[in-house]
Amino acid sequence: MGTVGADGWGHGVPFAGVPPVFDDRTRDACVVVPGIMGSVLEDTATGRPLWGADLAALTGTLSGEALFAALHANVQEQAANADTARRAPLTRIRATGLLARPWWLPVFQGLDPYSKTSELLEKVTLAREAVAPFPYDWRLAVSYNGALLARAARAHLERWRERVVAVPGWRAAGGARPRLVFVAHSMGGLVVRAALEQDPELAADTRAVVTVGTPFLGSAKSVLALNLLHARAKPDRLVRRVQAMAATLPGVHDLLPGYRCLDRGLDVERLTPGDVARFGGDRDLAARSLTEHARHRASGFVLPGHRALVGEAQPTVQTLEEERADLSVVAGRRYAFDVGDDGELVRDPATGIPARRDVSGDSTVHMPSARSGTDAVTYVFGQHGTLMRHDEVLRQIRRITLERPQGPHLGDGTGHGPGLETPHLGGTLGQPLTLTATGLDSPAGVTLSVRSATTGRPGHPLTLRRDLDRSDGALSARFTADAPDLYRVTLDTGRHTPLTQLVLVTPPDA
What are the pLDDT digits (tens) for 92-116? 999 999 999 999 999 999 999 999 9
Examine the domain organization and report whether 355 and 494 are in the same domain.
no
- The lowest-confidence range among 11-20, 123-132, 395-404, 474-483 is 11-20
Provide the pLDDT for residue 28: 95
Examine the domain organization and report whether 396 and 435 are in the same domain.
no
Q: What share of the chain is helix, strand, coil (3-state, %, to 5)?
A: 30, 25, 45
Distance between CA atoms of residues 503 and 487, nearest Å: 5
Share of the chain above pLDDT 90, in %: 71
- Contacts of 92 by beta carbon, 8 Å cutoff, 6+ apart: 43, 44, 45, 74, 77
Provide the pLDDT for residue 457: 82
Provide the pLDDT for residue 4: 46
Of 392, 415, 438, which residue is a domain's last?
A: 415
Examine the domain organization and report whether 386 and 368 are in the same domain.
yes
Residue 72 has pLDDT above 70, yes or no: yes
Name 1's bridge partners: none
Strand order in the sheet with 262-263: 268-269, 262-263, 319-322, 330-333
Confidence of residue 17 (pLDDT cuts 50, 70, 90): low
Residue 8 has pLDDT above 50, yes or no: no
What is each CA distance from 388 to 295, 315, 500, in whole angstroms?
Answer: 29, 19, 11
Distance between CA atoms of residues 251 and 269, nearest Å: 23
Distance between CA atoms of residues 52 and 154, nearest Å: 27
Residue length of the chain: 510
- Average pLDDT on 356-364 reads 96
Examine the domain organization and report whether 161 and 201 are in the same domain.
yes
- Average pLDDT on 26-33 reads 96
Examine the domain organization and report whether 396 and 441 are in the same domain.
no
Give exposure, 15-27, as e/b (b: 16+ Cβ within 10 Å).
eeeeeeeeeebbb
Q: What is the CATH number of the domain that holds 438?
A: 2.60.40.10
Examine the domain organization and report whether 452 and 405 are in the same domain.
no
Of 415, 431, 460, which residue is a domain's last?
A: 415
> Which one, of 35, 158, 167, lies nearest residue 105 by Cα?
35
pLDDT tens across 142-156, in order?
999 999 999 999 999
CB 509 within 8 A of CB 474: no
Confidence of residue 60 (pLDDT cuts 50, 70, 90): low
What does the longest C-alpha to C-alpha distance in the chain come to? 87
CB 463 within 8 A of CB 37: no
Structural domain including 453 reads 419-506
Provide the pLDDT for residue 341: 82
Read off the amino acid at residue 279.
F
- Residue 451's H or E segment, with its range, is strand 447-452
Confidence of residue 172 (pLDDT cuts 50, 70, 90): low
E strand map for 82-187 = 93-98, 103-105, 109-111, 131-133, 180-185
Share of the chain above pLDDT 70, in %: 90
Confidence of residue 495 (pLDDT cuts 50, 70, 90): confident
**CB neighbours (10 Å) of residue 458?**
10
Q: How many domains does the chain have?
A: 2
- Average pLDDT on 397-421 reads 73
Distance between CA atoms of residues 99 and 51, nearest Å: 9
For the chain, the C-alpha Rg in angstroms (whole number) is 24
**Residue 198 φ/ψ, nearest 5 degrees:** -75, -25
Task: Name the pTM for this structure.
Answer: 0.90
Of 357, 383, 415, which residue is a domain's last?
A: 415
Examine the domain organization and report whether 400 and 446 are in the same domain.
no
Can you state the angle between helices 187-198 and 142-166, rounded to 10 degrees?
70
pLDDT tens across 35-45, in order?
999 999 999 99
Examine the domain organization and report whether 318 and 452 are in the same domain.
no
CB 362 within 8 A of CB 213: yes
Distance between CA atoms of residues 86 and 151, nearest Å: 9
Examine the domain organization and report whether 326 and 425 are in the same domain.
no
Confidence of residue 272 (pLDDT cuts 50, 70, 90): very high
Distance between CA atoms of residues 271 and 502, nearest Å: 30
Examine the domain organization and report whether 356 and 423 are in the same domain.
no
**CB neighbours (10 Å) of residue 441?**
8
- Residue 240's H or E segment, with its range, is helix 237-246
Distance between CA atoms of residues 450 and 435, nearest Å: 10
Examine the domain organization and report whether 159 and 201 are in the same domain.
yes
Confidence of residue 415 (pLDDT cuts 50, 70, 90): low
Examine the domain organization and report whether 491 and 364 are in the same domain.
no
Residue 59 has pLDDT above 90, yes or no: no
Provide the pLDDT for residue 417: 82
Average pLDDT taken over every residue of the chain: 89
Residue 235 has pLDDT above 70, yes or no: no
Q: Which residue has the higher pLDDT, 84 or 65?
A: 84
Residue 411 has pLDDT above 70, yes or no: no
Distance between CA atoms of residues 30 and 456, nearest Å: 31
Q: What is the dihedral of CA 396, 108, 77, 188, to 10 degrees?
A: 10
Give exposure, 172-188, as e/b (b: 16+ Cβ within 10 Å).
ebeeeebbbbbbbbbbb
Confidence of residue 62 (pLDDT cuts 50, 70, 90): low
352 torsion bin: left (phi>0), alpha (psi -120 to 50), beta (else) = left
Distance between CA atoms of residues 225 and 257, nearest Å: 13
Q: Which residue has the higher pLDDT, 271 or 445?
A: 271
Q: How far is CA 279 from the centre of its chain?
A: 23
Strand order in the sheet with 465-466: 419-421, 433-438, 475-479, 465-466
HSE-up (13 A, CA, CB side) for residue 200: 1
Provide the pLDDT for residue 230: 73
pLDDT tens across 209-219, in order?
999 999 999 99
Q: Which is it for strands 206-212 and 306-312: parallel, antiparallel or unpaired?
A: parallel
